[in-house]
């Protein structure tokens, strides 16, 4: 948490809101004039000669009861609810739902009702000559870019969640940023074990913001983590220009590896890879050729790498099993599942991080856990110590485009205070120094 009071960064990340605009910074409050994708909540009538009342649905209250305050005839109210029902069920509105009543000014004639059925959708009911019309409106969002930096005093969670510069972000969104960073840097740094006091992070992320200030979507554009004085970078680059990019370090090498470091969020490793294990159920010496991750029943299990599902079904002691074939002779297995992800079948292609099933204890298992195996060329390997192949680097024909994108995204980070005394260099810098070196010598 490293904003010196009075610095320009402190100002634009402080009360005045976050930094808006992509790339180069336009400070100031959000202006709907330059909002790219705000779907419109048009005023009901050109002249806004209306009074608006916002009600919140309380426990046990129905939409009908709330509407009865509008003093419209019972049949009229029934028709309004029918119109609402075209888009959402009146019985399934949550407590706390905002209902906006729009009255004609003067005589209190009800013109329309807006019901915010979820954070992204509003059912708008409008009066017309014969009754009521309803429509579903997507809540407008705006896009902005947020810059934040901090020093880790205790752990990454408190460094990000308690960062005062992010105080405008709902707590859940701040926690989501940590999850994004964990996913991006999982191959470089084990966040639960390797983070140290004095580590430093810088982050630029783009988000789509709802009117209530929460994020609909976010994407980290550039991230830096200095862990025990070693800097790690991840820069977003969309090679195909189709929104399916990835993260690369400053040299253009992929940050991602061919396999995730773990297939799930687990509590602990209950049994490691051990070719000489004494089996607790069989009471005999039996090799354990996988890793057991203890986790609650129902915890989502992800494919650790891109591949094709080759087995998806019940198989003896494995219980419910998914087996995936990957490139370069790799195969992974996920056993004892409680259930499979819906809509998938054997022969289907899955991508890294895609949910394929849920933790359970089917087959030979003494408690809920995931049994995970990794094989290469038919031989079982210890997933925790196997050398995982690197992702593809930026190919030569895309390098110029990559350098330009990298420089813009890295400049975003450089507007923030960095970790003191850490020198950041790229192979390009080394080449340039080498090329210009003769002048210095
Ligand atoms: Zn096992």
DSSP character string of 317-363: GG-EEEEEE-GGGEEEEEEEESEEPTT--TT-EE-TT-EEEE-B--S
| Separation of CA 373 and ligand 1 centre (Å) | 8
Predicted local confidence at residue 28, as pLDDT: 34
Mind giving me the DSSP string for 209-253?
E-TTS-EEEEEEEEEEEEETTEEEEEEEE-SSSSS--EEE-TTS-
State which of 86-90, 281-285, 399-403 shows the largest mean pLDDT.
Answer: 399-403
CB atoms under 10 Å from CB of 119, counted, come to 12
What is the average pLDDT across 322-333? 96
| pLDDT value at 31 more than 60 | no
Confidence tier at 403 by pLDDT (50, 70, 90): very high
- Least confident residue range of 58-67, 220-229, 347-356: 58-67
Report how far ligand 1's centroid is from the alpha carbon of 344 (Å).
Answer: 24
**Candidate ranges 115-124, 150-159, 259-268, 301-310; pick with highest mean pLDDT:** 301-310
Distance 308 CA to ligand 1 centre (A): 22
Query: Distance (Å, rounded) from C-alpha 386 to C-alpha 194?
Result: 19
Please count the CA atoms within 13 angstroms of the CA of 375 that sit on its side-chain side: 13
Residue position matching structure tokens 């009521």: 132
- Is the pLDDT at 38 greater than 50? The verdict is no
Compute, in angstroms, the gap from residue 325 CA to the centroid of ligand 1.
19
pLDDT of residue 435: 58
CATH number of 1-32+141-257+393-434: 3.10.450.350
Cα separation of 83 and 100, whole Å? 16
Which CATH code for domain 50-138? 3.10.450.350
Centre of ligand 1 to C-alpha 305, Å, is 20
Cα separation, 85 vs 437, in Å, equals 73
Long-range contacts of range 102-106, CB-CB < 8 Å, 24 or more positions apart? 102/44, 102/50, 102/51, 102/52, 103/50, 103/51, 103/52, 103/53, 104/49, 104/50, 104/51, 105/49, 105/50, 105/51, 106/49
Ranges of each domain in the chain: 1-32+141-257+393-434, 50-138, 268-381
Pick the CATH number of 268-381 from 2.70.70.10, 3.40.50.1370, 3.40.50.1110, 3.30.2310.20: 2.70.70.10
Query: What pLDDT, in 10s, does the model give residues 162-215?
Result: 888 888 888 888 888 888 888 899 899 888 788 888 899 999 999 998 877 888
Q: Does position 299 have pLDDT exceeding 90, yes or no?
A: yes
Ligand 1 centroid to Cα of residue 318, in Å, is 9
CA 290 / ligand 1 centre spacing (Å): 6
Is 227 within 8 Å of 254 (Cβ atoms)? no
Task: Give the per-residue pLDDT at 280.
Answer: 67
Res 23 pLDDT > 60: no
| Mean pLDDT score of the chain | 82
- Confidence band for 60, pLDDT divided at 50, 70 and 90: confident
DSSP 389: P
pLDDT at residue number 335: 97
User: From CA 169, how far away is CA 13, in angstroms rounded?
Assistant: 11
Q: What pLDDT digit, counting tens, does each position of 132-144 carry?
A: 999 999 888 889 8
34, pLDDT greater than 50: no
Domains 1-32+141-257+393-434 and 268-381 agree in fold:
no
- The Cα 416–Cα 225 span in angstroms is 13
Q: How far is the CA of 336 from the centre of ligand 1 (A)?
A: 9
CA of 180 to the centre of ligand 1 (A): 29
Tell me, in angstroms, the distance from the centre of ligand 1 to residue 297's CA: 15
Could you tell me the pTM of the whole model?
0.67
Report CA(271)–ligand 1 centroid distance (Å): 7
User: Residue 40 has what pLDDT?
Assistant: 47
The answer to whether residue 24 scores a pLDDT higher than 50 is: no
In the reported structure, the alpha carbon of residue 382 is separated from the centroid of ligand 1 by a whole-number distance in angstroms of: 12
Name beta bridge partners: 122. Answer: 137
Half-sphere exposure (Cβ direction) of 163: Cα atoms closer than 13 Å: 31
Identify any residues that bridge with 156 across adjacent strands, giving them in sequence order.
none
Q: CA 289, CA 386: separation in Å to the nearest integer?
A: 13
Ligand 1 centroid from CA 371, angstroms: 4
Tokens of 72: 């419209």
Which alpha helices (DSSP H) does 138-297 contain, by range?
Answer: 156-161, 171-185
pLDDT at 91 > cutoff 60: yes
> What pLDDT is attached to residue 433?
60
E-only strand ranges, 9-128:
50-56, 98-104, 110-118, 121-128
């Amino acid at each position: 948490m490293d904003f010196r009071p009075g610095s320009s960064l402190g100002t634009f990340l402080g009360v005045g809101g976050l930094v808006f605009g992509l790339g180069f910074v336009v400070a100031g409050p959000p202006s709907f004039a330059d909002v790219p994708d705000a779907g419109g909540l048009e005023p009901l009538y050109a002249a806004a000669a209306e009074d608006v009342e916002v009600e919140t649905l309380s426990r046990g209250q129905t939409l009908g009861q709330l509407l009865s305050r509008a003093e419209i005839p019972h049949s009229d109210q029934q028709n309004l609810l029918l119109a609402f029902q075209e888009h959402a069920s009146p019985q399934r509105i949550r407590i706390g739902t905002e209902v906006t009543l729009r009255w004609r000014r003067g005589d209190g004639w009800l013109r329309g009702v807006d019901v915010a059925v979820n954070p992204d959708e509003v059912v708008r009911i409008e009066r017309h000559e014969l009754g009521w019309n309803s429509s579903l409106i997507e809540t407008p969002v705006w896009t902005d870019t947020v810059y934040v930096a901090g020093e880790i005093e205790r752990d990454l969670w408190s460094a990000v969640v308690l960062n005062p510069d992010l105080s405008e972000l709902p707590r859940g969104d701040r926690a989501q940023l940590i999850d994004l960073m964990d996913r991006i840097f999982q191959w470089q740094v084990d966040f639960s074990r390797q983070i140290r006091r004095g580590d430093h992070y810088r982050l630029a992320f783009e988000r789509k913001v709802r009117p209530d200030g929460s994020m609909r979507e976010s994407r980290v554009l550039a991230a830096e983590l200095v862990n025990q004085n070693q800097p790690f970078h991840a820069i977003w680059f969309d090679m195909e220009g189709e929104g399916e990019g990835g993260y690369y370090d400053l040299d253009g090498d992929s940050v991602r590896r061919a396999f995730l470091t773990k297939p799930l969020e687990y509590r602990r490793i209950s049994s490691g890879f051990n070719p000489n294990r004494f089996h607790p159920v069989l009471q005999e010496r039996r090799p354990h050729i996988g890793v057991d991750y203890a986790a609650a029943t129902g915890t989502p299990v992800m494919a650790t790498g891109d591949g094709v599902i080759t087995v998806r079904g019940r198989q003896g002691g494995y219980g419910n099993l998914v087996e995936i074939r990957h490139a370069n002779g790799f195969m992974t297995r996920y056993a004892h599942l409680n259930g499979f992800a819906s809509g998938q079948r054997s022969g289907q292609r899955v991508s890294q991080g895609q949910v394929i099933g849920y933790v359970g204890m089917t087959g030979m298992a003494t408690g809920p856990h995931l049994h995970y195996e990794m094989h290469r060329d038919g031989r079982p390997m210890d997933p925790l110590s196997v050398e995982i192949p690197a992702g593809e680097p930026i190919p030569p024909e895309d390098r110029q485009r990559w350098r330009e994108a990298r420089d813009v995204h890295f400049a975003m980070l450089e507007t923030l205070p960095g970790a003191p005394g850490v020198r950041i260099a790229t192979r390009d810098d080394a080449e340039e120094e080498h090329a210009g070196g003769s002048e210095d010598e």
